[in-house]
């Protein structure tokens, strides 16, 4: 192959530039040109096919900094419709006219779905990314454990997992972790630690909402911040147990910190968050307000008298507060783990393309004997029998639903990822740059300004 394309799709993560960097560096070694497409799949639908040559003379452009969050190529949640043959023909023609012989898509489950129709036309490989850590399998046959039921109103199907016959073991997970997750957890942990001391001072109950959609990995990892209670979407809310535990902890220490995943569900399995009842272009539900909904439940259940009797404020409304860690989880400098494995996955994706394999994912594998390594896996292996790719949920064994905390297996899952996730340079970078007088003098210089100068079009 002489020339390949690369794009970043879906919600961004801090590790995208590192992944592009890995792909480009490997291409440099192989004397292959890499063209980056602007704003994910959106670019492919644009008849001018906006793109950037990422390695003129087989040297990476200086704007591509693996330690910088976001993506120099931009991203969007645009979706590739497998049934729109005319549009797919046009995309194929455009890529052909630019001499693109293979494509790397950096993305999550939505991107993987979009990649499928393109993969029949040229070699396409997915390099995984998502802060949610929901691209992967708990065990090889997990997609076979999905069952579906048609909705009463005949508008489609609902999918759920039947209890599995497969024994779970950490060593057998497919794509153990995705780049972006470790940085998102770091940000959540720091948020929790900061909220804790203010909750302690003011005798308050803090509910901290973290991202992750319906997968509880970020909430699980947030346990490093030592919250008192962790609520994950995989375990339906047990309000009686929760209130009992809150009171026990509050009686003892006069403050409680609760972390909740944004996708937590009630006992009937309904999202606690107000659902806007809308979806993004790849079909993902938009979630909002789980922590606020939980707060209202606690305010009603605990009542003002509880707090007044302790002389700790005038009302439950005052004592219980919520904070979302929000998009700070997705932004900023990636930690060492994400930079390193993002780059490895990018390089592996280039290698897979060179082998002319299509519809394949580069993966991060782990087992207790070898530690981490990169590998590949067929995208088809992620599909259920109806062809759908489901976001990976945290395995039930990771959570102790009676203690409302990660279980021993959950803690064992986290340890290899976070043992050396932070590099010394991560801390040194913060020390050197945060309060630089330069920041006070100079306006922010956006990478987009420089990349704009490099964008080329096919016509
Ligand atoms: O999938 C990544 C993610 O950050 C989720 O955790 C979150 O629910 C969603 O994206 C937020 O999407 P947006 O940035 O479009 O609001």
Determine the average pLDDT of the residues in 114-122. 92
- For the record, the structure tokens of 399 come out as 């959570």
> Which ligand 1 atom is the nearest neighbour of the CA of 330?
4
By three-state DSSP, how is residue 437 classified?
Answer: helix
Residue 313, pLDDT score: 76
Please give the pLDDT value at position 148: 96
277 pLDDT more than 60: no
In whole angstroms, what is the distance from residue 108 CA to residue 377 CA?
A: 14
pLDDT in tens, 289-306: 899 999 999 999 999 999
Q: How far is the CA of 211 from the centre of ligand 1 (A)?
A: 7
Closest residue by Cα to atom 13, ligand 1, is 11
Nearest atom, ligand 1, residue 10 CA: 1
Q: How close is the Cα of 296 to the center of ligand 1, in Å? A: 24
- Determine the pLDDT at residue 282: 63
Residue 447, token pair as written in the block: 């990478």
CA 87 to chain centre: 29
Q: Considering only CA atoms, which of 446, 326, 332, 423 is closest in space to residue 14?
A: 332
Residue 297 CA to its chain's centroid (Å): 28
The mean pLDDT of the chain is 95
Q: What is the pLDDT of residue 101?
A: 98
Structure tokens that stand for 427 in this block? 């801390």
pLDDT at 55: 98
Alpha helix stretches (DSSP H) within 239-315? 239-253, 290-309
For the question of residue 132 being annotated catalytic, the response is yes
Closest residue (by CA) to atom 10 of ligand 1?
11
Whether 209 lines ligand 1, by a CB cut-off of 6 Å, is: no
Between the CA of 402 and the centroid of ligand 1 the distance, in Å, is 29
The Å distance, Cα 203 to ligand 1 centre, comes to: 32
149 Cα–ligand 1 center, Å: 27
Beta carbon of 392 within 6 Å of any ligand 1 atom: no
Phi and psi angles of residue 399, each rounded to the nearest 5 degrees, phi first? -130, 140
Q: So what's the pLDDT on residue 283?
A: 65
| pLDDT, position 288 | 65
pTM: 0.95
Check residue 456 and report its DSSP letter: B
Tokens at 394, concatenated: 């945290």
212: Cβ below 6 Å to ligand 1? yes
Per-residue pLDDT, 371: 98
- Condensed to tens digits (0 to 9), the pLDDT of residues 303-361 reads 999 999 877 777 999 999 999 999 999 999 999 999 999 999 999 999 999 999 999 99
For ligand 1, atom 12, the nearest C-alpha belongs to: 11
Confidence (pLDDT) at 279: 65
**pLDDT at residue 79, rounded to an integer:** 84
The pLDDT score that the predictor gives to residue 309 is 87
Name the active-site residue from 78, 109, 132, 228: 132
pLDDT at 419 (0 to 100) = 97
């Amino acid at each position: 192959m002489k020339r390949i394309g690369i794009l970043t799709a879906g919600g961004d993560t801090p590790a995208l530039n590192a992944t592009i960097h890995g792909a480009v560096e490997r291409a440099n070694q192989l004397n292959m040109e890499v063209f980056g497409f602007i704003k994910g799949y959106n670019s492919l639908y644009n008849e001018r096919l906006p793109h950037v040559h990422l390695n003129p003379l087989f040297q990476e452009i200086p704007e591509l900094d693996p330690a910088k969050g976001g993506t120099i190529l931009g991203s969007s949640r645009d979706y590739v419709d497998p049934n729109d043959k005319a549009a797919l023909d046009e995309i194929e023609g455009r890529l052909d006219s630019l001499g693109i012989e293979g494509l790397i898509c950096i993305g999550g489950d939505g991107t993987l779905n979009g990649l499928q129709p393109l993969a029949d036309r040229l070699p396409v490989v997915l390099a995984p990314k998502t802060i949610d850590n929901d691209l992967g399998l708990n065990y090889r046959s997990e997609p076979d454990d999905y069952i579906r039921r048609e909705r009463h109103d005949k508008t489609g199907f609902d999918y759920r997992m039947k209890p599995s016959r497969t024994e779970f073991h950490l060593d057998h997970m497919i794509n153990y972790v995705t780049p972006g997750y470790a940085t998102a957890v770091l940000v959540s942990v720091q948020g929790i630690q900061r909220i804790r001391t203010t909750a302690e001072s003011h005798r308050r109950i803090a509910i901290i909402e973290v991202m992750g959609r319906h997968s509880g990995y970020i909430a699980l990892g947030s346990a490093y911040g030592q919250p008192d209670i962790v609520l994950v979407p995989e375990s339906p809310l047990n309000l009686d147990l929760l209130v009992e535990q809150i009171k026990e902890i509050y009686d003892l220490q006069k403050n409680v910190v609760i972390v909740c995943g944004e996708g937590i569900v009630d006992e009937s399995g309904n999202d606690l968050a107000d659902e806007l009842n809308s979806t993004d272009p790849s079909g993902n539900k938009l979630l909002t307000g789980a922590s606020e909904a939980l707060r209202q439940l606690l305010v009603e259940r605990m009542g003002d008298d509880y707090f007044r009797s302790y002389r700790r404020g005038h009302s439950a409304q005052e004592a219980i507060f919520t904070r979302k860690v929000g998009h700070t989880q997705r932004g900023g400098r990636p930690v060492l783990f994400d930079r390193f494995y993002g780059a490895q996955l990018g390089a592996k994706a280039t290698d897979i393309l060179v082998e002319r394999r299509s519809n394949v994912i580069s993966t991060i594998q782990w087992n207790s004997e070898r530690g981490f390594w990169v590998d590949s896996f067929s995208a088809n292996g992620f599909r259920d029998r109806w062809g759908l790719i489901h976001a990976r949920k945290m395995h039930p064994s990771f959570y102790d639903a009676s203690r409302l905390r990660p279980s021993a297996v959950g803690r064992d899952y986290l340890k290899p990822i976070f043992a050396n996730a932070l590099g010394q340079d991560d801390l040194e970078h913060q020390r050197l740059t945060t309060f630089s007088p330069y920041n006070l003098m100079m306006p922010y210089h956006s990478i987009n300004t420089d990349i704009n100068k490099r964008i080329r079009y096919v016509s």
